[in-house]
């Protein structure tokens, strides 16, 4: 009598066994872990996900895992395939264009509300964060830089209501994996542009110059999105980001004015090397 051969489970790189509480309480930490793996690039776009494989690697049952996969699908981070398997959503230039456009508009509102109450304590903290960002960038410590970078932008949003800040966090999360992938492909000078722009935004905020601050912030976010799009989708023509900057900065809505205001990338054959700044 022949013994049935055990099905070989191919392990996914980047996924480790996790220590979780009881099954009923395991969904939130399991969701947070898998979400982080997708956002920071440990599980790359396009990766096929098998419940059996994930359950085995994570050391969990399929019941909480199914709920977590459903949550990730609702967030747009994974998608179902015809064979009932799941895969990590691929890089979508339209999603990045849309997410950054929404972030530009909402961030302008949050920053304008924050500047109204930007005191000496917040100024000192923002300057400290900029210093830490410069040091970690010199060390090529991307992980710490990302944490401090998020803290800096959050500081410039503190005057906004909590629901608005939660929306900004979600938008920042959706763009994170694009930036992480880009930072790994451009290891040299990836923080240089952002270093200059972050300081300029802070200077305008400290002066109480709302118009200049929100315009600089919009251009800063747009530049990041366009540099990432140039690398990841050179044939894609962004529309949402230029329109968002035009609305914030008060530029005319004709195509040439939009291209000038946010330095839209040239056609693919004429583009040079660029580095993401935020």
pLDDT tens digits along 75-122: 888 998 877 788 998 878 998 999 999 999 999 999 999 998 899 999
Q: Residue 191 pLDDT > 80, yes or no?
A: no
Total domains, the chain: 2
Half-sphere exposure of 234 (CA within 13 A, CB side): 10
Burial class (CB in 10 A: 0-12, 13-18, 19+), 144: middle
- Indicate whether 215 and 133 sit together in one domain: yes
Instruction: Say which CATH number the domain at 48 has.
Output: 1.10.10.10
- Indicate whether 102 and 237 sit together in one domain: yes
- Indicate whether 84 and 98 sit together in one domain: no
- Indicate whether 43 and 177 sit together in one domain: no
- Indicate whether 174 and 130 sit together in one domain: yes
What residues does 87 pair with on adjacent strands? 48, 79
What dihedral do alpha carbons 38, 41, 45, 48 form, nearest 10°? -60
- Indicate whether 122 and 224 sit together in one domain: yes
Which uninterrupted H or E stretch holds 244? helix 240-249
Cα–Cα distances in Å, from 3 out to 6, 7? 9, 12
What residues does 272 pair with on adjacent strands? none
- Indicate whether 74 and 102 sit together in one domain: no
- Indicate whether 194 and 106 sit together in one domain: yes
Give domain status of residue 256, yes or no. yes
Give domain status of residue 144, yes or no. yes
pLDDT tens digits along 249-276: 874 334 334 444 555 444 444 433 333 4
Residue 265 DSSP code: P
C-alpha 177 chain-centroid distance? 5
- Indicate whether 145 and 80 sit together in one domain: no
- Indicate whether 80 and 151 sit together in one domain: no
Structure tokens at 204: 């305008």
**Domain span at residue 133?**
93-267
Which residue among 56, 88, 120 closes a domain? 88
Give domain status of residue 84, yes or no. yes
Which residue among 88, 106, 127 closes a domain? 88
Which residue among 45, 65, 88 closes a domain? 88
pLDDT tens digits along 165-183: 999 998 988 777 777 766 6
Structure tokens at 213: 């601050």
Q: How far apart, in whole angstroms, are the C-alpha atoms of residue 42 and residue 97?
A: 23
Q: How far apart, in whole angstroms, are the C-alpha atoms of residue 109 and residue 273?
A: 32
What residues does 99 pair with on adjacent strands? none
- Indicate whether 117 and 222 sit together in one domain: yes
Give domain status of residue 214, yes or no. yes
Give domain status of residue 276, yes or no. no
Beta strands in 17-106 (DSSP E): 48-49, 78-80, 86-88
pTM: 0.72
Highest mean pLDDT among 40-44, 124-128, 175-179: 124-128
Structure tokens at 47: 């990766």
pLDDT interval class at 19 (50, 70, 90): confident
3-class DSSP assignment, residue 87:
strand
């Amino acid at each position: 009598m022949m013994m049935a051969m055990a099905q070989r489970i191919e392990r996914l790189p980047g996924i480790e066994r996790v220590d979780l509480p009881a099954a009923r309480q395991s969904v939130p930490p399991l969701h947070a872990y898998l979400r982080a793996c997708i956002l920071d690039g440990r599980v790359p776009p396009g990766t096929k996900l098998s419940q059996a494989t994930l359950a085995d690697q994570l050391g969990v049952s399929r019941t909480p895992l199914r709920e977590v996969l459903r949550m990730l699908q609702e967030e747009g981070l994974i998608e179902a395939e015809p064979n009932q398997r799941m895969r990590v959503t691929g890089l979508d230039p339209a999603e990045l264009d849309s997410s950054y456009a929404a972030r530009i508009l909402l961030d302008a509102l949050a920053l304008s509300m924050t500047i109204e109450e930007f005191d000496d304590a917040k100024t000192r903290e923002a300057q400290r964060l900029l210093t830490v960002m410069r040091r970690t960038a010199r060390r090529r410590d991307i992980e710490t830089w990302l944490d401090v970078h998020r803290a800096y932008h959050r500081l410039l949003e503190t005057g906004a209501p909590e629901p608005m800040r939660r929306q900004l966090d979600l938008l920042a999360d959706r763009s994170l994996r694009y930036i992480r992938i880009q930072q790994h492909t451009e290891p040299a000078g990836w923080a240089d542009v952002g270093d200059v722009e972050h300081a300029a935004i802070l200077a305008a905020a400290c002066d109480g110059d709302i118009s200049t601050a929100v315009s600089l912030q919009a251009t800063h976010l747009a530049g990041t999105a366009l540099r990432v799009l140039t690398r990841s989708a050179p044939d894609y023509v962004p529309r949402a980001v230029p329109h968002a900057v035009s609305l914030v900065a008060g530029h005319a809505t004709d195509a040439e004015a939009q291209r000038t205001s946010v330095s839209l990338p040239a056609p693919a054959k004429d583009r040079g090397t660029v580095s993401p700044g935020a």
